[in-house]
């Protein structure tokens, strides 16, 4: 039997459903996994297209109600904002917010949040709608710890997505909503100078312990020339705190760090280095090392 060619119009759509395919003469046999990928129950995309998170959301938009807004962990991932592994997970399930309704669409790979979103809390990202960063901060306050929410807020500030005043205004008038107290308490802790979530965590823990440090602290030599910036620093005591992720062990970065720390030491600075292990157990050992370094000065 001669097989009819697959309709070109279907391959150019963000996604198509089985019902539409059948009206175009497409059989279930033609929807085999080698040629098409199922993005959700009964909806498909061409297999040779990259199905990253933005593409998956664009495809899901075709299967969801018109008022669907991608939100929560999905919006954070689309904006390339940091979330802890337990909150971000992989690209499934996808989180969307829908206007409250009597019957909520149920899809295995979609988490539906029923919320009323005013227009100013929705923005366009490429071909889909997502919650604005200030609304995202408020929504994720229901799922994150104080430290992780601060890391998210710092990244938003660092990327120019929000301002501290804008976040404060966004949470100021909200009442009787889970997470809003945490959001209000976290906004004053934010600092857009943080370069990574671990830097935020270390800064907050040192602050809680009574040793507030300056993020991206400028380091000068004896002639007053800028020689670098410490992740965190105490200029009066000339103590720097440096967080080193795994990439610091790589060749070029390793060599750069040696040179940088040597210049810090020559300028009279004491460098307290820390890593992933120091984020465990509330960073008690790191706090002790910083306390001792400050006491020496």
Q: Are residues 16 and 106 in the same domain?
A: no
Q: Are residues 107 and 156 in the same domain?
A: yes
Q: Are residues 176 and 204 in the same domain?
A: no
Residue 247: predicted pLDDT: 56
**97-156: per-residue pLDDT in tens?**
999 999 988 888 899 999 999 999 999 998 899 999 999 999 999 999 999 999 999 999
Q: Are residues 19 and 115 in the same domain?
A: no
Helix 164-172 and helix 133-140, axial crossing angle in degrees, nearest 10:
60
pLDDT tier at 288, thresholds 50, 70, 90? very high
Which range marks the domain in which residue 12 is found? Answer: 8-49
Q: Are residues 94 and 45 in the same domain?
A: no
Of 189, 219, 238, the position where a domain reaches its end is 189
CA angle 116, 120, 126 (to 5 degrees): 100
Residue 140: predicted pLDDT: 96
Only one residue has tokens 């820390």, namely 274
Residue 91: predicted pLDDT: 53
Q: Are residues 122 and 211 in the same domain?
A: no
**76-95: per-residue pLDDT in tens?**
999 999 998 766 655 568 99
Residue 1: predicted pLDDT: 43
| pTM for the model | 0.85
Q: Are residues 61 and 142 in the same domain?
A: yes
Share of the chain above pLDDT 70, in %: 91
CB atoms within 10 A of CB 172: 11
Q: Are residues 157 and 62 in the same domain?
A: yes
Q: Are residues 32 and 88 in the same domain?
A: no
Residue 251: predicted pLDDT: 60
Specify if 288 maps to a domain: yes
Check pLDDT > 90 for residue 231: yes
Between the ranges 56-60, 61-65, 107-111, 197-201, where is the mean pLDDT highest? 197-201
Contacts 24+ apart (CB under 8 A), 121-127: 122/69, 125/54, 125/78, 125/79, 126/54, 126/58, 127/14, 127/58, 127/61
Q: Are residues 69 and 181 in the same domain?
A: yes
Check pLDDT > 60 for residue 257: yes
């Amino acid at each position: 039997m001669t097989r009819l060619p697959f309709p070109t119009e279907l391959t150019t759509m963000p996604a198509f459903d089985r019902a539409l395919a059948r009206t175009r003469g497409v059989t279930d046999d033609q929807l085999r996994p080698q040629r098409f990928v199922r993005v959700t129950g009964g909806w498909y995309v061409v297999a040779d297209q990259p199905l990253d998170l933005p593409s998956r959301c664009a495809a899901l938009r075709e299967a969801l109600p018109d008022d669907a807004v991608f939100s929560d962990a999905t919006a954070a991932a689309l904006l390339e904002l940091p979330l802890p592994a337990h909150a971000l997970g992989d690209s499934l399930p996808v989180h969307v917010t829908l206007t409250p309704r009597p019957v909520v669409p149920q899809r295995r790979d979609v988490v539906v949040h029923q919320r009323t979103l005013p227009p100013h809390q929705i923005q366009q990202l490429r071909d889909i709608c997502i919650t604005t960063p200030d609304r995202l901060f408020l929504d994720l306050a229901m799922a994150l710890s104080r430290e992780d929410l601060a890391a998210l807020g710092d990244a938003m500030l660092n990327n120019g997505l929000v301002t501290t005043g804008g976040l404060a205004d966004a949470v100021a008038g909200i009442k009787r909503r889970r997470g809003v107290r945490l959001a209000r308490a976290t906004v004053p802790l934010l600092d857009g100078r943080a370069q990574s979530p671990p830097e935020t965590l270390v800064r907050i823990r040192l602050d809680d312990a009574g040793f507030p440090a300056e993020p991206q602290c400028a380091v000068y030599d004896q002639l007053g020339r800028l020689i670098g910036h410490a992740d965190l620093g105490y200029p009066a005591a000339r103590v720097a705190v440096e967080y080193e992720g795994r990439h610091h062990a790589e060749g070029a970065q390793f060599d750069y760090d040696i040179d940088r720390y040597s210049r810090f030491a020559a300028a009279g600075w004491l460098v307290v280095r820390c890593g992933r292990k120091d984020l465990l157990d509330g960073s008690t050992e790191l706090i002790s090392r910083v306390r001792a370094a400050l006491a020496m000065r």
